[in-house]
Amino acid sequence: MKNENLPKLNNNKQELLQQEFQQLEEEIFVIEREVHLFENTLRLELENELIEVQELTVIYKKLQKAKKEKRFAQKKRGKNYQEVVGLKPLNYQKKTVIVPENEKEKKRLYREAMVYVHPDKFSANKDQVDLATDVTSKLIEIYKTGNLEELQIYYNHILSGNAFHLPQPLKKSDEISEDLYLENQLGKLKEHLNFLKNKQTYIVLKTYENPLRFLEELKAYYTDRIFKLKKRTRKVR
């Protein structure tokens, strides 16, 4: 969101809104930079744990899906079940050619992207966990069955932020007054600022005497989570 996209100011109210807009942008920039640097430090230290959790989570999701399909198959055998008539999807297996010299680069892109999209996001925001898991599943699939070009495309898609379908800022139209447009933009900035301030990493930065102590808590958390996921997926690994 950039100031040059805002409408020209015509009155004092708009000037006040513009000032508030700029103040919020500056505050968000500072917080995002702090959080980004801190989270990058954590990701580097927890890279192996994050990747293992993601891979085990995908296996667990597939196991749960298989159980659901098994229950559905049992339901189909029931007396009152009625088959839904419709088009059936074609099943095919994609064939790929493995080029040894590309495997090293594929592995690098895969690991970097996996760390970037880890479902936990070091925050209490649970709404994006399922979405991040879906992105992870597709990343694993491309890594295992796709070629380097496909992986590079999806890698860039992930790092651009588009994989998470982030909401787009409100666009000004002739039907929206300048004041209403600015107020809507301010509302979105305030929501984003509130989200940043409620992130666990930001809270740690502002409340821990030594924020890096949080790393010990995360390591203990992921060790326990990996143990539980391994236990739940031992039949399919």
Is 165 a residue whose pLDDT tops 60? Answer: no
Is 31 a residue whose pLDDT tops 60? Answer: yes
The answer to whether position 211 is within a domain reads yes
The answer to whether position 78 is within a domain reads no
Cα–Cα distances (Å) from 146 to 80, 99, 102, 142, 207, in that order, read: 42, 11, 11, 4, 44
Whole domain around residue 112: which residue ranges?
96-168
Same domain, 149 and 183: no
Same domain, 138 and 185: no
The answer to whether position 71 is within a domain reads no
Residue 19 one-letter amino acid: Q
Predicted pLDDT of residue 224:
95
The answer to whether position 51 is within a domain reads no
Same domain, 181 and 235: yes
More confident residue, 167 or 143: 143
Is 24 a residue whose pLDDT tops 70? Answer: yes
| CA 42/CA 201 separation, integer angstroms | 10
Predicted pLDDT of residue 9:
46
Is 193 a residue whose pLDDT tops 70? Answer: yes
Same domain, 114 and 150: yes
Predicted pLDDT of residue 65:
85
Q: Which residues of 50-78 are buried (b: 16+ CB within 10 A; e: fewer)?
A: bbbbbbbbbbbbeeeeeeeeeeeeeeeee
pLDDT tens digits along 42-94: 989 999 999 999 899 889 888 888 888 888 777 767 666 666 555 555 555 55
Q: Note the Cα 40 to chain centre separation in Å.
A: 15
Same domain, 145 and 194: no
Is 168 a residue whose pLDDT tops 90? Answer: no
pTM of the model: 0.63
How does residue 230 score in pLDDT terms, banded at 50, 70 and 90? very high
Is 100 a residue whose pLDDT tops 50? Answer: yes
Q: Is the dihedral of CA 113, 118, 122, 126 positive or negative?
A: positive
H/E run at residue 187:
helix 178-197
Q: What is the mean pLDDT of residues 214-227?
A: 94
The answer to whether position 236 is within a domain reads yes
Same domain, 182 and 163: no
Query: Which of residues 138, 168, 198 is at a domain's end?
Result: 168
H/E run at residue 183:
helix 178-197
More confident residue, 30 or 131: 30
Average pLDDT for the chain = 79
Same domain, 195 and 162: no
Query: Which of residues 146, 168, 190 is at a domain's end?
Result: 168
Biggest distance spanned by C-alpha atoms of the chain: 73
pLDDT tens digits along 115-138: 887 766 555 455 567 777 788 888
The answer to whether position 182 is within a domain reads yes
Q: Which of 125, 12, 134 is nearest to 62 (CA)?
A: 134
The domain total for the chain is 2
Same domain, 118 and 180: no
The answer to whether position 192 is within a domain reads yes
Predicted pLDDT of residue 13:
74
Same domain, 122 and 102: yes
Query: Which of residues 168, 192, 213 is at a domain's end?
Result: 168
Same domain, 116 and 146: yes
Q: Which of 130, 209, 196 is nearest to 165 (CA)?
A: 130
The answer to whether position 202 is within a domain reads yes
Same domain, 150 and 180: no
